[in-house]
Amino acid sequence: MGFNFIYFYDSVRSGIEYLPNTFELTFIPILVGLCLGILIAVIRVYRIPFFAPLLAVLITLYQGIPLVVALMIYHLLFMATFNNFAAVLHLSISMADINTIWIGIFALSLHATCYMEESIKGAFFSVDQGQYEAGYSVGLTRLQTLRRIIIPQVIPVALPMLTNNIVGTIKGSSIVMVIGITEVLAGSVVPASKTYAFFEGYIAAALIYWIFTILVEKFARRIEKRGDKYRRNLV
Amino acid sequence: MIEIKNAKKSFGKNEILHDVSIQVNKGDVIVILGPSGSGKTTLLRCINFLEKADAGTLTIGEQTVDLKKASSKEILEIRRKTAFVFQNYSLFHNKTALENVMEGLITARHIPYEVAKKKAEDTLAWVGLLAKKDAYPCQLSGGQQQRVGIARAVVLDPEVILFDEPTSALDPELVGETLAVIKSVAERGITMIVVTHEMSFAQDVASKVVFMDGGFIVEAGTPAEIFRHPKEERTKQFLARIISAENMYYI
């Protein structure tokens, strides 16, 4: 199997063209995952009645579904019900007006939420119960203790795990190709439909993902270093 | 004046406090003695609502609250009148010594930053740690951490400071410096309730010694009464064992 650098170059260019889609498919889920993840983690750490056990069951169930399967289900549900749904709400839009990228974003967001919640919850449990009690004992409210004492200690512990989750989401975003969304992976093999240079196409996609994840990891390491000044002397 | 009336607490079927009542006058130093599992620490934690008692009332100054049914607003008010010194220090790991001492002043009492800083620095100087004000807890020895813990409690000018075995996590060399600081807290006239196993400290500093066992107050009185002329058999037993152990330690 030969390697054609011209085809490879074409594939890289075509893949980069679709980078904005990959950005959408990663950064929106990461943001949603962070916000919902923190919220759910706090609900579970503080054992809020009703919600904490409910969310625990939901997350355990959802984590057992592979991302591809979830995507297929949402896509099918979308195609089967959208027109009826629009009719009920008297919306004058048809299925074709909706960009299917939102299905991908939805599925990735739910997965990111589950994984990030687990990371954040784990980091919460690394903070000693005495830290909460010390906060209460000097007269801080629950919220003040959370904001000023607990969260600053949770962040440095959670960051390495969250970086992992973020890199996982970036790579997971390539899976949305199966419901016909064109992102970096699908984009890289677009030229191959004419030239049959699939090998060059996949290598191009790998290269783009690799650079993207390396940059994200470098950025995350820099933040991690800033966050742990009080732990520097912990052995 | 602080008064605990009929405090009861059980964890599951295990009853830790059976109807405990204590009265503390302003400026008193109450030392609670007793074997492990006698409910000393639980009593202390119930006063600060770190543990919710099953029954009983607590009076601090003018305010009386139900130990079981206190609202979160009442709990916050009580906590702002009391301070707690923990067995394992529990300094805020993410804050420097100075920030640890300032936290309650700034966030809970809304004292202006500069005023709080001045007060916190004075208090740190008083426990002999002004030079360490920018050190994080992980950079301090156990004795230093506990002294910061004491400063964090004293700076709030609470009506009572609750000490939960403040020296039992320290190695013997560091116990002395910490006890000296606690002693000077007592000399300031601050009301204190101290749970400890340091008998000589109890003899020197306490205005009243309370002996607890099995969730009951067995005996209470002045240090002279308790140490020289204990009335109850259980107190004599406990003291005989402790005091002979202490003598052995000096040999």
Q: Give the pLDDT confidence score for residue B65 in this predicted structure.
A: 93
User: What does the alpha-carbon distance between residue A129 and residue B108 come to, in Å, rounded to a whole number?
Assistant: 20
pLDDT tens digits, A91-144? 777 777 778 899 999 999 999 999 999 999 999 999 999 999 999 999 999 999
User: Which chain A residues are Cβ-neighbours of B136 within 8 angstroms?
Assistant: 229-230, 233
User: Which chain A residues are Cβ-neighbours of B84 within 8 angstroms?
Assistant: 133-134, 137
Q: Give the pLDDT confidence score for residue A233 in this predicted structure.
A: 47
User: What does the alpha-carbon distance between residue A55 and residue A63 come to, in Å, rounded to a whole number?
Assistant: 12
Is the confidence at residue B170, as pLDDT, over 50? yes
Residues with Cβ < 8 Å from A77, sequence gap 6 or more?
Answer: none
B84–A231 CB contact, under 8 Å: no
A133–B50 CB contact, under 8 Å: yes
Q: Quick one: tokens of B111?
A: 């004292």
pLDDT tens digits, B132-157? 999 999 999 999 999 999 999 999 99
Strand order in the sheet with B82-85: B82-85, B160-164, B191-195, B29-33, B208-213, B216-221
User: What does the alpha-carbon distance between residue B180 and residue B145 come to, in Å, rounded to a whole number?
Assistant: 14
DSSP string covering B61-114: TTEEEETTT--HHHHHHHHHHEEEEBTTB---TTS-HHHHHHHIIIIIT---HH
Q: Give the chain B residue nearest A136 (alpha carbons).
A: B79
Residues with Cβ < 8 Å from B93, sequence gap 6 or more?
Answer: A131, A153, A230, A231, B136, B137, B138
pLDDT tens digits, B85-134? 999 999 999 999 999 999 999 999 999 999 999 999 999 999 999 999 99
Q: Give the pLDDT confidence score for residue A232 in this predicted structure.
A: 53
> What percentage of residues in chain B have a pLDDT greater than 70?
96
Does A97 contact chain B (CB < 8 Å)? no
Length of chain B in residues, anyone? Answer: 251
Candidate from B50, B136, B156 with C-beta closest to A138: B156
CB pairs under 8 A between A and B: 74
Mean pLDDT score, A10-30: 93
A230–B104 CB contact, under 8 Å: no
Does A228 contact chain B (CB < 8 Å)? no
Let me know: does A57 contact A42? Beta carbons within 8 Å.
no
Let me know: does B167 contact B178? Beta carbons within 8 Å.
yes
Q: Give the pLDDT confidence score for residue B199 in this predicted structure.
A: 85
> What percentage of residues in chain A have a pLDDT greater than 70?
96
Q: Give the pLDDT confidence score for residue A230 in this predicted structure.
A: 65
Length of chain A in residues, anyone? Answer: 235
A139–B156 CB contact, under 8 Å: yes
Q: Give the pLDDT confidence score for residue A235 in this predicted structure.
A: 37
Does A84 contact chain B (CB < 8 Å)? no
Backbone angles phi, psi at B54, to 5 degrees: -85, -20
Candidate from A137, A138, A152 with C-beta closest to B94: A152
B76–A141 CB contact, under 8 Å: yes
- Find residue B82's DSSP bridge partners: B160
Cα–chain center distance at A197 = 31
Q: Give the pLDDT confidence score for residue A126 in this predicted structure.
A: 92
Fold classification of A19-181 (topology level): MetI-like fold (1.10.3720)
CA distance A131 to chain B (A): 6
Is the confidence at residue B24, as pLDDT, over 80? yes
Question: The pTM is what?
Answer: 0.83
Q: Give the pLDDT confidence score for residue B62 in this predicted structure.
A: 87
Q: Quick one: CA dihedral A12, A17, A20, A22, positive or negative?
A: negative
- The overall average pLDDT reported for chain B is 90
Candidate from A128, A130, A139 with C-beta closest to B104: A139
Q: Give the chain B residue nearest A141 (alpha carbons).
A: B76
Q: Looking at chain A from residue 101 to 130, which residues have their Cβ under 8 Å from any Cβ of chain B?
A: 128, 130
User: Which chain B residues are Cβ-neighbours of A149 within 8 angstroms?
Assistant: 92, 94-95, 103
Mean pLDDT score, A182-201: 90
pLDDT tens digits, B50-84? 999 999 999 998 899 999 999 999 999 999 999 99
Does A141 contact chain B (CB < 8 Å)? yes
Q: Give the pLDDT confidence score for residue B246 in this predicted structure.
A: 63
Mean pLDDT score, A53-81: 93
User: What does the alpha-carbon distance between residue B102 and residue B120 come to, in Å, rounded to a whole number?
Assistant: 6
